[in-house]
Amino acid sequence: MDSALIPKGLKRCSFGAYAFWLVVAGIVLLWGVYAMFLCWFKGLNQTNMNDYYGFALWIWADLAVIALGGGAFFTGFLRYIVGKDELKNIINYAVIIGFICYSSALLILAIDVGQPLRSWFIFWHANVHSMLTEVAFCLSCYFCVLTIEYLPIILENRKIDEVPFFHNLGHNMHEIMAVFAATGAFLSFFHQGSLGGVAGVLFGRPFSYREGVLIWPWTFFLFTWSAAAYGPCFTMTVTKLTEWISGKKLVKQNVYELLAKISGWMIGTYIIAKIVDTLYWAFVTAPSMGMTFMEFFTNNADYGLGILFVEIVLGGIVPAAILLTEKGRKNSFLFVVAIILGVIGVSVNRWVMVLQVMAVPTLPWEPWHLYSPSWQEVATTILPVAYGVILLMVSFRYLPVFPQEKELNS
């Protein structure tokens, strides 16, 4: 039925099966859209947030998808700036995943603010001292860059490519993609960092506050580093998942191994920096504010030392150890375990830097305040996942995303 749109020489599932799963994802999407409209029209009283939990599930989702979408800027940086040519075989998917992550982040932010129609105030009345201002500017600019990077991939669709103007446009855009990759890397450095700064500058919150260099707390650099380290793990996880669902090999092993090796080094160096940061915070920063390390991990039902173990050991040391060894990278089971642990590790880090920050009591007589999201918050957080699945399904079916697919499945 839609065979004229499918790239030449590639096989895709039947239109019926495709449409069925599209409808399933569409239903989930509609559920999220319904919750989104409830939040917009009835207000944020639809959530379980409160005056102690001004930042909650949505902000975590924002930080997490932006970190996971970091695969786009870092793979682009490696491919176009460093010159790792093999990565051209996965860069398209990295860009699409990045586009989904960043558009999702913007959507979630639009739901999260109390007065969405005033969102432009962040640009108009910008406070240059606020990390969130930096986030807004760089995030918006980088989303534009990702759109520009996604466009030539769309223009490669069989039918669109038949139009000479689009064909030439796509070709010329490919030629100058290095410029956008460099711009994206530059912007990402700042918005990934400023997202770390959002928590790090909170000098009223001993759990998240960090010293740093000039105006940048250490979390600024840790967030940038971790996004570059773990973003490729998510790109590879989604690619592996696509291979598993479609039953096709899409990317050659050497491409995975190269990206995994770089990711391993990045995770390894990041986790050392993170451990040093944690130790300095535990032994110097927190005590200077009158708090002991264990006060942040006791006297509550949700946050114990286990979460630190999951973040640093399971989500950091273990994937780094696997990905840094050739044996680990070549063993398909260990490889998949490592990249999934990486995704979990960075997501837990973002959770801790949002949710646990809010939970820790600041006034000496106050108890911990724990939180669980309402169904509206959950639905609106799943909404971008459903949207992402749909966009991936459409892109994978109708666009020549993987240059090696034909060769690997012939």
Partner 1 sequence: MKEEHTHKNAKKYGMVIDLDKCTGCGACMVACMAENNVSFRKDETDRLKSITWMRVYKITNGKSFPDTDICYIPRPCMHCEGKGHGAPCTSVCPATATDYSHETGIVSQIYTRCFGCRYCMAACPYHARYFNWWDPVWPEGMERSLSPNVSPRMRGVVEKCSFCFHRYQLAMDKAFAEGGRELEEHEYQTSCTQACPAGAITFGDLNNPEHAVHKMVQPDNEHGGRPKNPKAFRLLERLGTNPKVYYLSTRKWVRQMGDNYLEKELKAVR
3 or 127: CB nearest partner 1: 127
126 or 321: CB nearest partner 1: 126
Binding residues for partner 1, rule: CB under 8 A, are 43-45, 49-55, 112-116, 118-119, 121-122, 124-127, 129-133, 136, 198, 201-206, 287-292, 357-358, 362-365, 369
Of residues 310, 311, 285, 282, the one with CA closest to residue 294: 282
Of residues 98, 110, 74, 76, the one with CA closest to residue 147: 98
* Helix 57-68 vs helix 375-398: crossing angle, to nearest 10: 20
Interatomic CA distance for residues 286 and 109, integer angstroms: 31
Of residues 282, 319, 310, the one with CA closest to residue 206: 282
Nearest-approach distance from CB 197 to partner 1, in angstroms: 10
Nearest-approach distance from CB 115 to partner 1, in angstroms: 4
Q: How many residues does the chain have?
A: 410
139 or 346: CB nearest partner 1: 139
With residue 55 as reference, give the H or E element that holds it. Answer: none
Nearest-approach distance from CB 311 to partner 1, in angstroms: 20
With residue 276 as reference, give the H or E element that holds it. Answer: helix 253-280
Nearest-approach distance from CB 140 to partner 1, in angstroms: 12
Backbone angles phi, psi at 302, to 5 degrees: -100, -40
251 or 352: CB nearest partner 1: 352
Tokens of 366: 């106050």
83 or 204: CB nearest partner 1: 204
Nearest-approach distance from CB 53 to partner 1, in angstroms: 8
Interatomic CA distance for residues 359 and 362, integer angstroms: 9
**Is the CB of residue 377 less than 8 Å from the CB of residue 57?**
yes
Q: Is the dihedral of CA 185, 187, 188, 193 positive or negative?
A: positive
Interatomic CA distance for residues 57 and 378, integer angstroms: 8
Nearest-approach distance from CB 64 to partner 1, in angstroms: 17
83 or 114: CB nearest partner 1: 114
20 or 121: CB nearest partner 1: 121
Nearest-approach distance from CB 46 to partner 1, in angstroms: 9
